[in-house]
Structures are given as structure tokens and as C-alpha cells.
Amino acid sequence: MTGFTGFLLRRIAGTVFVLLALSAIVYAVFYVAPGNVAQIVCGERCSPQQVALVHDKLGLGDPLYLQYGHFIQGIFAGRDFSSGTGVVHCSAPCLGQSYRTDEQVTALILGKLPVTGSLVVGAFALWLLIGVGTGVLSAWKRGGMIERLLTWLTLAGTSTPVFVIGLLLIIILCSTLQWLPFPQYVPFTDDPEQWFWGLLLPWFSLALIESAKYARLTRSSMLETLAEDHVRTFRAYGLSERAIVGRHALRGAVAPVIALSALDAGTMFGSAVLTETLFGIPGIGQQLVQSVRTVDLPVVVGVVLTTGFFVVLANAVADVLYAMADRRVVLS
């Protein structure tokens, strides 16, 4: 099989393999810890009877391959768990059951996903708008004061940690000038206006760093495209510089931006851990921090796998989008 269809099928098969390998590695890392895992989860003050109860509840008495098999079975077909009220069925995709609250991990993550999704989507739109716009303007005004100023700003943005930007924005815009409300999450369905204003500061904190990277990438791609022969031909025919940049150069420079943006949209779920903790946003990242503090292994494994799933999926989407933008990728 050749062409784009073959490329797409190979990419899907590779993605499935990577996801299975990721699940095996993550499961092994957390459940093959040195020492007694049940003792670690239960705590130092637990009695031997309590440790034995945790050991049975987590299914640690079975061989590791059987534990992992039950975990995979839960993802594709569901599984049963014992609780204080009897046996509880966890429907597929089942990522386990919280040891601390007996809540199903999948339901817990799905409840937090709209929060993190709102954070990622808003930051994604902002960093593309700011980054691509800044890169195009810098390439268009190359050699002048505007280019030097934008280059300095992108360098400063790339080298500044997100928590520093976040704290500065809170101090300046919320506390001192009081231009913006303090960050909070309100569901979009409850109040779209409060949803927007409550997430605007976290969006900017993430977008300012990422947009600096996209500004540099867009500027570099634009300068390469503007130096090509067909662009010089357009100039010779008397086409204006604005038309050349907007209609032709930007189209030729957009392929690497598309690929990187799809990949970064997935990795942003990992960056949400710090951002949500800093701004008090109750999403997947904050849930991961709380689960690590309480040593709730099933929730930790579920959150890490969910984050890894979005990263791998975004990587596959980036490859497909890049291949659609540049068919030479398919041939290679």
C-alpha cells in the first residue's frame, strides 16, 4: 500500500504500539516500586492487617503480568472491584479505582478534563495568534528597530519560567492595577463571561512562553520562504510586499508551525500541572499533585497515562498534518 493512505495506516499502527508500551512502562514504574507497595500506600502507621487489606484491594498478590492484564482488560472491557458495599463494576475504559475515595479513576479524570481542556485550548489559541503574528511582523520588518525589539522580547519570553510570569501577572494585573480578577474556574455552561475572565491570566502565562518559540520559528521559516526564487519572481512582477507575505510566504512557512503546534497542544497537558497548581485551577494537573501527596497510586497511574495518551495522540496528529501540508513527507 502506497501513498497517503499507507502513511496514515502506518502512523495509526505505530501510535497503538506506543500507547501499549507506554501503559506497560507506567504501570511497572509505579507498581514495581522498591519495598512494600501496600505499606507505602497505606502509610507507616498502618497495622499489618490494614496493610494486608490494601495489598488485596490493589491486587498486589497476583504476578505483575496478571495485574497488568487485568488493567488492560479494564480499559477495553471493564472490570469489577470490591468495596465496602460489595462488588462494583467499572465500565470500559476503566483506569482503576481510587484507593482513598473508592471513586472510579475514569470518572474522576473526566470530571477534571473540561477544566484542563479549557486551559489548554485558550492558551493554544493565544500563543498561535501572538507567536505567528509576531514572527510574521518580525520577518516583514527585518533589519529594523521593530525586528530587534521583537527578537529581544521573544528571547526574554523563552528564558522566563511560567511560574515567574504567572506570579508577576497576578501581582501587577490583579493586586496592583486590579485590571483583571484573580484566576478561578467557572464552567462555560454556567457563565461564559466569568469562564473567560477567570482563565485569561493562566492563558497568558502559558501563551507568552510558547508564543516566543512560535515567533522565532515563524520568523525563521518566513525568511527562508522570502528568499526563494518564486518570491523574487513575484517582486519582479510588481506584487506588493504585503501581498507576497500574506498570500504566498506565510503559506509556505506554515507547515512546521502546524506540526509543532499539534505536538505542543498535547504536551501542554503536562505543563498544566504547574499552571493549575500556581493559579488554583481544579484540573487534571492539580488532581495529580493531590494524588501524589496522598499516595493514591491508581489515580496517579490514570492521570499519567491520560496525559501520555494526549501527548502521543498529538504527536500522531502533528505527523499527519505535516504530511498533508507537505506531501514530500509521505514519500519519505
Final residue before a domain boundary, out of 55, 90, 125: 90
Same-domain check for residues 36 and 77: yes
Same-domain check for residues 128 and 57: no
Q: In degrees rounded to 5, what are phi and psi of residue 104? A: -70, 135
- From 323, 304, 322, 297, select the one nearest 19 (Cα to Cα): 304
d(CA 82, CA 23): 23
Q: In degrees rounded to 5, what are phi and psi of residue 86? A: 125, -150
Same-domain check for residues 135 and 49: no
Residue 139 lies in a domain: yes
Give the pairing type, strands 86-90 and 79-83: antiparallel
Same-domain check for residues 251 and 116: yes
Same-domain check for residues 62 and 130: no
Give yes or no for a contact between 98 and 296, defined as CB atoms under 8 angstroms apart.
Answer: yes
Residue 98 lies in a domain: no
As beta bridge partners, residue 82 has 87
Neighbours of 187 (CB within 10 A): 12
Same-domain check for residues 30 and 53: yes
- Tens of each residue's pLDDT in the chain, 332 residues: 567 788 788 888 888 899 999 999 988 888 776 667 788 778 778 888 888 888 887 778 788 888 899 999 999 999 888 766 678 888 888 998 888 888 999 999 999 999 999 999 999 899 888 888 888 888 877 777 777 787 787 777 777 787 888 888 899 999 898 898 899 999 999 999 999 999 999 998 888 878 888 888 888 888 887 777 777 887 787 777 777 777 767 776 777 787 778 778 777 777 777 888 888 899 998 999 999 888 888 899 999 999 888 888 888 887 777 777 666 655 55
Same-domain check for residues 237 and 188: yes
The CATH number of the domain holding residue 247 is: 1.10.3720.10
Amino acid at 255: A
Q: For the chain, what is the domain count?
A: 2
Neighbours of 202 (CB within 10 A): 27
Give yes or no for a contact between 69 and 20, defined as CB atoms under 8 angstroms apart.
Answer: no
Same-domain check for residues 212 and 309: yes
d(CA 197, CA 128): 19
Residue 13 lies in a domain: yes
**Can you give the residue range of the structural domain that contains 253?**
105-326
Same-domain check for residues 184 and 238: yes
As beta bridge partners, residue 83 has 86
Q: How far is CA 31 from the centre of its chain?
A: 25
Residue 99 lies in a domain: no
Kindly give the residue spans of alpha helices, DSSP state H, lying in the chain: 3-31, 37-42, 48-57, 64-77, 105-140, 145-159, 162-169, 192-226, 229-236, 241-243, 250-279, 284-293, 297-325, 328-331
Look up the pTM and report it: 0.82
Same-domain check for residues 202 and 249: yes
Give yes or no for a contact between 168 and 175, defined as CB atoms under 8 angstroms apart.
Answer: no
Same-domain check for residues 53 and 161: no
Same-domain check for residues 77 and 114: no
Final residue before a domain boundary, out of 90, 113, 133: 90
